[in-house]
Amino acid sequence: MPVRATGAGRYAPSPSGDLHLGNLRTALLAWLFARTSGRRFLIRIEDLDRARDAGSALRQLDDLAELGLDWDDEPVLQSARGEDHAAAIAQLADAGLVYECFCTRKDILAAPTAPHAPPGAYPGTCRELSLAEREAARERILPRTPALRLRVPAGTAAPQYTDRVLGDQLHGEIDDFVLRRGDGTVAYNLAVVVDDAAMGVDQIVRGDDLAPSTPRQILLQRLLSLPSPPALEYAHVPLVLGPTGKRLAKRDGAVTLAELRAGGVSAARVLSELAASLDLARAGDVVTTAQLAERFDPELLPRGPLIWLPA
């Protein structure tokens, strides 16, 4: 494998339940991208949303290890990184790029938006409120607290970048997105940007359903003077879909290692089937992750989603 002095790839699951085959396929790809480029491979447990934390982090790590994946350093808990998240928001606030938002989701959906704005884009309702209007709004929404939004600088063009899988990405305007929710939880876009930079991650491999969030994250990277493309690499990989064509979920039957094991399917067989779906093995081949790393070529990665049909 090539030698690289610095840099890392990562896999960052949310502990909202056991990893299913789609999660495991993405984790395998993240591991392959990192290991075949000489990077370290890191794990971050994205446990900021306490309402969705099912306490499955340790089981997730066990499943990754059973599949044959290894990682460098101890897994990082995102919930332990609050000081860095707060410091990033303070840095943006000091630059005049943060404002309070008092809108509910219903308010945003009901408000008129710019003609070319995507559905659900924030229309800027609270962007220019006066001090008196903000004070009145705080009283009005009690006991809720306001969210914090990024004041996207006027004239900001959406970042363009080249994705290792999707190719050149050209996106439209970026709205004033949330940095911290009204319940105090730091938003995904801010947390991943700050955490990836702190962990030395310069290669982000994840499902292609997350590609639309990338321009917001690149903008934050630049506003916070953190590494961004082309110094940072993105690869958004195809999802695994269930029989109905929707994203794979528990409704699709035995889709986790524990469920498959209970039905007599070993982790080795799961790895074999995932490898076959990536054109890295023939159906039924017994393979190891080390062998897959020797065969892996990102340029030959299948570009379409995998439809997983129950046995």
Annotated binding-site residue? 11: yes
Residue 89's identity, in one-letter code, is: I
The DSSP H or E segment spanning 306 is strand 306-307
Q: Is the peptide bond before 119 cis (omega within 30 degrees of 0)?
A: no
Consult the annotation and say whether 243 binds a ligand.
no
Q: Is 234 annotated as a binding residue?
A: no
C-alpha of 135 from chain center: 35
**Integer Cα distance of 146 and 137 in angstroms:** 9
Could you give phi then psi for residue 98, rounded to 5 degrees? -130, 140
Structural element, H or E, at residue 150: strand 147-150
Q: Does 161 appear as a known binding residue?
A: no
d(CA 92, CA 259): 45
Are residues 104 and 227 in contact, defined by beta-carbon separation less than 8 angstroms? no
Q: Give the span between the Cα atoms of 132 and 137, in whole angstroms.
A: 9
Residue 10, annotated as binding a ligand: yes
Within 8 A by CB and 6+ apart from 172, the residues are 116, 118, 158
Whether 250 has a binding-site annotation, put simply, is yes
Tell me if 126 is assigned to a ligand binding site. Answer: yes
100 is in an annotated binding site: no
Q: Which residues lie closer than 8 Å to 2 by C-beta, 6 or more apart?
A: 36, 37, 38
Q: How far is CA 247 from CA 172, 205, 239, 307, in A?
A: 25, 18, 7, 9
C-alpha distance across the termini of the chain, in Å: 36
Is 206 annotated as contributing to ligand binding?
Answer: yes
Check if the beta carbon of residue 268 is closer than 8 Å to that of residue 262.
no
Are 145 and 121 in contact by the 8 Å Cβ rule? The answer is no
Tally of residues, the chain: 311
Q: Is 12 annotated as a binding residue?
A: yes
Q: Which residues are annotated as a binding site?
A: 10-14, 46, 101, 103, 122, 126, 188, 206, 250
Annotated binding site for ATP: 250
Binding-site residues for Zn(2+), in ranges, read 101, 103, 122, 126
- State the binding site for L-glutamate: 10-14, 46, 188, 206
